[in-house]
Amino acid sequence: MRVPVLFTAMIAGMCFWACQSDSTSNNQMPPVMTRETPPPLATSAEPRLPMSGAGSFESLVADYESKDRVIWQKPGMVISMLGDLTGKTVADIGAGTGYFTFRMVPLATHVIGVDIDPRFISFMDSVKVRLPAEYRSRFESRLAQPDDPGLNPEEADAVIIVNTYGYIENRVKYLQTLRSGIKPGGDLLIIDFKKNNLPVGPDNDFKVSVSQVEKELHSGGFEVARIDNESLDYQYIILAKKSAQQGE
């Protein structure tokens, strides 16, 4: 599906606007991050999930690039957990519109926006052409397979997976494959929704608990370095390192 040029320009503009800063305001808006197949409606006793992103690609894009997202997602703070990215190659797995990818472009030497959906690859490429020349050459979109992020051996210094972990099937095997694309001792940052009864967000069944992610990381050949349940109201942040051992 082609994304209308005007719409793309609007979203790219929103991205650059949002890149300016992370708000720390307490006036938080609820996260949406709607899945393409919307979860079942809650019963009348429960809050209903927002349905604004269900359906079209354009509404998914608007959801992922919502300007309120910067308030609860705190992308600058999240990215800072990877430390100084100067001279580094970073891959964003399940990059979507490039919400995190394009925020890392000014900071790293090479940023790879990985996705399995060709529409998001086209979308990111349409944002790329609007980047300043010095940043354009740092960005690469990469169409991947659901079971393989398509990284070259030891290509990435760091990998980030945001709001995507639950979409991946056979995750231990996936992590083992991903591991080979990361340099020795490299970082893996996973951010996803807490498995609480949040008023909004994906269906609870779809979420992966912190303890489950920890277990899978260990089996996948990673050591958990830090778990942060506090910095984001709705999400956990897990920083892991590629371990010397391959996992199980």
From CA 143, how far away is CA 82, in angstroms rounded? 24
The structure tokens listed for 24 are 């720390």
Give yes or no for residue 123 binding ligand SAM (CB under 6 A): no
Give yes or no for residue 95 binding ligand SAM (CB under 6 A): yes
Q: Which is nearer to ligand SAM, 158 or 168 (CB)?
A: 168
Scan for tokens 């999930």, then name that residue.
Answer: 49
Q: What is the DSSP string of 94-160?
A: T-TTTTTHHHHTTTSSEEEEEES-HHHHHHHHHHHTTS-HHHHTTEEEEE-BTTB--PPTT-EEEEE
Among 144, 175, 198, 237, binds ligand SAM (CB under 6 A): 144
Among 8, 66, 163, 235, binds ligand SAM (CB under 6 A): 163
Give yes or no for residue 33 binding ligand SAM (CB under 6 A): yes
Bridge partners (DSSP) of residue 228 are: 237
From CA 205, how far away is CA 181, in angstroms rounded? 30
Q: Which is nearer to ligand SAM, 32 or 44 (CB)?
A: 32
Q: Which is nearer to ligand SAM, 159 or 210 (CB)?
A: 159
Output the smallest distance, CB 148 to ligand SAM, in A. 8
Among 102, 120, 222, 236, binds ligand SAM (CB under 6 A): 120
From CA 179, how far away is CA 161, in angstroms rounded? 13
Give yes or no for residue 99 binding ligand SAM (CB under 6 A): yes
Residues of this chain that bind ligand SAM (CB under 6 A)? 33, 64, 93-96, 99, 114-117, 120, 144, 146, 162-164, 167-168
